[in-house]
């Protein structure tokens, strides 16, 4: 958070760091656990404000050299993310996006509701979570059309035997 302020942030309303067993299935479990070699480390700095605009910034790292399973899991969630990014343009719907992502049961969740924040997206701008909200829970049945000028953040998460891997990307529609 201090680096964000050094780089000109006006406000940072939230942030967390999770590692190892605390990164899956819910990455919001904050403890005083020491990061260990081989851990997946998830950093979530959210609701950053620059020049009145809000954004979120999430990153996942491996402490040390990642295992083959960790590399494979990261490649899988990266592919889910990029499959969605490749189709984003004004005129498509949120349903088109979520159809690029697997069903929750395919990556370790019991239901779409349980995986709500595991495969999702949202608009960013004057507030952190602006329309459209993108999730398999509602976008399949209630799709929203994307419009020029929207800024969209997409997030994908997938489990491994060694816990969480995630990717995150924002994109402005032209």
Q: Are 41 and 76 in contact (CB under 8 A)?
A: no
Query: Looking at residue 93, what DSSP letter applies?
Result: B
CATH number, domain with residue 36: 3.90.230.10
**Which of the four pLDDT bands, split at 50, 70 and 90, describes residue 162?**
very low
Residue 25: per-residue pLDDT: 62
Can you tell me whether residue 23 is helix, strand or coil? helix
Under 8 Å CB-to-CB from 122, ≥6 apart: which residues? 128, 129, 130, 131, 132, 133, 134, 152, 153
How many folded domains does the chain comprise?
A: 1
**Mean pLDDT along residues 76-85:** 92
**Mean pLDDT along residues 153-170:** 60
Residue pointed to by tokens 């329309």: 131
Domain membership of residue 77 as a residue range: 2-172
**Which of the four pLDDT bands, split at 50, 70 and 90, describes residue 15?**
confident
Q: Are 150 and 142 in contact (CB under 8 A)?
A: no
Would the pLDDT of 95 be above 50? yes
Can you tell me whether residue 5 is helix, strand or coil? helix
**Mean pLDDT along residues 21-27:** 68
pTM: 0.82
């Amino acid at each position: 958070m201090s680096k964000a302020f050094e780089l000109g942030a006006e406000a940072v309303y939230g942030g967390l760091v999770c590692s190892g067993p605390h990164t899956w299935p819910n990455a919001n479990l904050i403890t005083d656990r020491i990061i260990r070699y081989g851990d997946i480390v998830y950093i979530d700095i959210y609701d950053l404000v620059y020049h009145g605009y809000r954004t979120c910034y999430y990153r996942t790292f491996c402490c040390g050299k990642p295992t083959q399973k960790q590399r494979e899991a990261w490649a899988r969630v990266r592919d889910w993310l990029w499959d969605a990014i490749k189709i984003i343009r004004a005129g498509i719907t949120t349903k088109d996006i979520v159809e690029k992502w697997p069903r929750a049961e395919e990556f370790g969740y019991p239901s779409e509701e349980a995986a709500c924040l595991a495969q999702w997206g949202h608009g960013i701008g004057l507030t952190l979570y602006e329309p459209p909200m993108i999730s398999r829970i509602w976008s399949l049945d209630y799709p929203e059309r994307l419009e020029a000028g929207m800024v969209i953040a997409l997030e994908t998460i997938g489990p491994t035997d060694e816990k969480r891997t995630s990717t995150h990307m924002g994109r402005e529609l032209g």
